[in-house]
Structure 1
């Protein structure tokens, strides 16, 4: 597996993490509302603010690798803050932070991948993140329900911390530092 495909695997794991995180609260929301005394309106904000914040993926970014790492780091911090949130307002703010950080990381990651997969290679490269995102979206409620039933809703957020650290390390290790040249240079004839 070449460096750019290793990078694509690392980016795909990030996509899966963000996808499962999106839907994990659908089941955990009842426990969160009960424990933090959220109103119905606050519960709606908790669920829908993350996907709304993901719309920031439409914002162009510069400095792709550094922005990707920054987005992952911010996602990790927002997840940790959500796990420790003493009230609904802080939890909702951290949830918005998770969505924005995920959007930044996704946009930077896909632009970075686009530099390494050109032309007809781009379509096959996208199969991997999509192949992981769909089952992660489906698994999110199951994961959220199991964690909430056996631990606490706080672990739905806390589990993101080590997973994001792993994603940070994989992205940092496997992302090629230079994009391939668009056209090979012909060798001069002797």
Structure 2
């Protein structure tokens, strides 16, 4: 696997974590509602906080490795905060933080991939994370339901912390630090 494809694999891991996390609490509404005595309005905010915050992906973010790593660290931190939430408002705030951190990572990762991948390698590098995202969105409720049933919904958020650490290490190891040298006309002709 070349360096560029290792970077795609690391970014795909991030996409997998974020896409599962989008729907992972969908199957755990009742235990959360009971534990925090949530009002219907807070339940709705909890359901939509993460995907609405993901709209932050539209905010222009430079495709820098440091931005990506700080976004991942933020995601892990707000996941831990959510795991230890003492009320519904804190849990909703954690989900908003997760969505914004995920948006920063996705935007910075997309920009880095666009910088380092050109030509025929660009579309597979976009398609692979997209397919993983679709699988993750569908797997989220199943994973969340199993974890909530056997342990607690809090573990759903707590599991994000070590997964984020793995993603930080993978991204740090496999993402190139320097911008690639642009191809010249003579380089393209062979």
**What are the within-5 Å matches in structure 2 for residues 16-27 of structure 1?**
16-27=16-27
Tell me whether 1:142 sits opposite 2:142 in the alignment. yes
Q: Hey, what does 2:40 align to over in structure 1?
A: 40
Q: Helix, strand or coil: the match of 1:159?
A: helix
Partner deviation per Cα, 1:1-46 (whole Å, 9 max, x = no partner): 1111101000001001000000011101221111111111101100
Q: Hey, what does 1:173 align to over in structure 2?
A: 173
Q: Hey, what does 2:151 align to over in structure 1?
A: 151
TM-score, structure 1 length as denominator? 0.95
Partner deviation per Cα, 1:79-98 (whole Å, 9 max, x = no partner): 00000000011111111000
**For structure 1, which segment, 14-23 or 28-37, has the greater mean C-alpha deviation from structure 2 after superposition?**
28-37
Tell me whether 1:49 sits opposite 2:49 in the alignment. yes
Shift of residue 134 of structure 1? 1.0
**For structure 1, which segment, 61-70 or 105-114, has the greater mean C-alpha deviation from structure 2 after superposition?**
61-70
Q: Hey, what does 1:14 align to over in structure 2?
A: 14
- Uncovered stretches (5+) of structure 1, i.e. residues with no partner: none
Change (3 A) 1:106 1:63: closer
Q: Hey, what does 2:105 align to over in structure 1?
A: 105
Q: Helix, strand or coil: the match of 1:124?
A: helix
Shift of residue 184 of structure 1? 4.3
State the distance in 2 between where 1:185 and 1:122 align.
19
State the distance in 1 between where 2:183 and 2:83 align.
48
- How large is the RMSD of aligned CA atoms in angstroms? 1.4
State the distance in 2 between where 1:62 and 1:136 align.
26
- Uncovered stretches (5+) of structure 2, i.e. residues with no partner: none
State the distance in 2 between where 1:13 and 1:159 align.
14
Q: Hey, what does 1:119 align to over in structure 2?
A: 119
Shift of residue 131 of structure 1? 2.0
State the distance in 2 between where 1:66 and 1:7 align.
14
| Paired residue total | 187
